[in-house]
Amino acid sequence: MPLPWARSGNPCMSIAETLHGTWASRWVFIFAATGSAVGLGNIWKFPYIVGQHGGGAFVLVYLSCILAVGVPLMMAEVLIGRRARRSPVNAVATMARESGRSEHWQIAGFMGVLAGLLIFSFYSVVAGWVLEYLLASSRGELINMGYQQAGERFRTLLADPRTMFGWHTLFVTIVMSILACGVVHGLERATRLIMPALFALLVVLLGYTVTGGYFTQAWNFLFSFESRQLSWEAALAALGHAFFTLSLGLGAIMVYGSYMPKKSSISGAVLTIAALDTLVALMASLVIYPIVFASGSDPAAGPGLMFITLPVAFDQMPGGQVIGLLFFGLVALAAITSAISLMEPAVAFLIEHLGISRLQSCMLLGALVWLLGTAALASFNVLNGVVLFDRSIYNLLDFVTASILLPLSGILVALFIGWRMKRTYLREELAIRNVWLFRLWYLLIRFVAPAAIAVVFVQNLRH
């Protein structure tokens, strides 16, 4: 059944101002979308996967994937959101209807909304670990620990359902409270406060490591290029991370685009977001590697890099307790901005679909993700014997979202934009004056992006 606003005489009538709100400026949108993209993936995952795949050669492939796949697809998602001025599900349905196509294409938006909701449920568990380590750093509890003690401390946290439950509950409450305040008073205000603080902390930490004696070694590791380090596995890892780091396939960029001022340049904004996201990942690596090298640790330590390796490394540094506190504060802020964007598409969709208030939508969805997250954290302790499809609850949620829903959503969005949406709409929204640049983008979104994401999808299913 058509939604109420779909029966309006003006099919492109904006509901962003009546139901959700609009960003005050192009830069607010850029910082909000950058906050969505900048998260644990930049500060936690990027440094260790670069370490696992040999440094500079991986970074070069990663940057190429950002330009060839990430940027074109992000432009496509912003384009749909801004033109339709609706949540992802309804935005794709509206654009399909206006283009004379089946509204079943809205499954692309639904997959993204569902993926964001499910990811948040276990993302909040990891964010809870960050909050625990932030508090521990402030209390000086990470002092005088060797690797064995640090590993035991982390394992003790995972085995303690009460502590994890408390942090998970706090994180869900913080994020849903921000969302309940709306686009202007919630998302925009949080963005204006958190993003400058995040960049300030990153600059302070980078300034510290520049003077620490191992910065040159870290720089060479990150940017030195050796072709023998390139491998098919490294290329796939770079492609996969380039897709996930920009929050693509989640509907987050699409819904943020629906709040974007009409006169703002989509291509310019997206290139700025991609540049800022990449800059944060590289800066975070240049913060982490000197600390790791100074302690004689391995930069390819994997997920344990943040919660085992770094606490030990901080303890061996002059002023390490303060640096550790600043670092976990940085990660906590990044986790909040990303988590907000994970839930906003679902919040917006529920408001539109059920006609309820933003507060009611946040309360309903908050309760749902809180329950799912409680099950996910319990898979590390009280439910560690529960296995579904050969995976724990936490790992199953991770697999379904990262390996199935996100790639499929990304592929469908690329195919819809490249093959089914009216080309005149694309030209109108993108407003790219150079015809060759438009043709390049169109080529990438039609052929390169869906093929590349399909490769990631197949590879993920194989693992």
256-273, pLDDT tens digit by residue? 999 998 888 999 999 999
pLDDT at 70 over 60: yes
Average pLDDT over all residues of the chain: 89
Residues 320-370 have pLDDT tens digits of: 889 899 999 999 999 999 999 999 999 999 999 999 999 999 999 999 999
Q: Give the Cα separation of 329 and 274 in Å (integer).
A: 23
Residue 208: what pLDDT? 87
Under DSSP, the state recorded for 227 is G
State the Rg of the chain over Cα: 22
Residue spans per domain, the chain: 24-462
Residue 6: what pLDDT? 35
Residues 194-212 have pLDDT tens digits of: 999 999 999 999 998 888 7
Residue 459: what pLDDT? 86
Q: Give the Cα separation of 458 and 210 in Å (integer).
A: 41
Cβ-based neighbours of 87, under 8 Å, separated by 6 or more: 109, 113, 251, 255, 258, 345, 348, 349, 351, 352
Give the mean pLDDT of 71-97: 96
Of the two residues 86 and 8, the one the predictor is more confident about is 86
pLDDT at 9 over 60: no
**Nearest Cα residue to 88 out of 334, 343, 336, 399:** 343
Residue 11: what pLDDT? 36
Q: How confident is the model at residue 303 (pLDDT cuts 50, 70, 90)?
A: low
What 3-state class would DSSP assign to 345?
helix
- The answer to whether 314 and 291 have CB atoms below 8 angstroms apart is yes
What 3-state class would DSSP assign to 270?
helix
Residues 115-149 have pLDDT tens digits of: 999 999 999 999 999 999 999 999 989 888 888 89
Phi–psi pair at 28, nearest 5 degrees: -65, -45
Fold topology of 24-462: Hydantoin permease (1.10.4160)
Q: How confident is the model at residue 46 (pLDDT cuts 50, 70, 90)?
A: confident
**Nearest Cα residue to 196 out of 30, 314, 344:** 30
Residue 309: what pLDDT? 83
pLDDT at 12 over 60: no
Give the mean pLDDT of 160-179: 97
CB crowding 309-325: b at 16 or more within 10 Å, else e: bbbbbbbebeebbebbb
Q: Best-predicted range by mean pLDDT among 39-43, 186-190, 221-225, 359-363?
A: 359-363
Q: What does the block give as tokens for 238? A: 């770079």
Residue 317: what pLDDT? 79
CB crowding 284-306: b at 16 or more within 10 Å, else e: bbbbbbbbbbbbebebbbeeebb
The amino acid present at 47, given as its one-letter code, is P
Give the mean pLDDT of 282-310: 80
Q: Give the Cα separation of 376 and 121 in Å (integer).
A: 8
- The answer to whether 48 and 302 have CB atoms below 8 angstroms apart is yes
Residue 19: what pLDDT? 58
* Region label for 43, one of left (φ > 0), alpha (ψ between -120 and 50) or beta (otherwise): alpha
CA atoms within 13 A on the CB side of 11: 11
pLDDT at 438 over 50: yes
Q: Give the Cα separation of 152 and 146 in Å (integer).
A: 10
Choose the weakest-confidence range: 39-43, 173-177, 240-244. 39-43
Choose the weakest-confidence range: 54-63, 152-161, 167-176. 54-63
Residues 281-295 have pLDDT tens digits of: 999 889 888 888 887
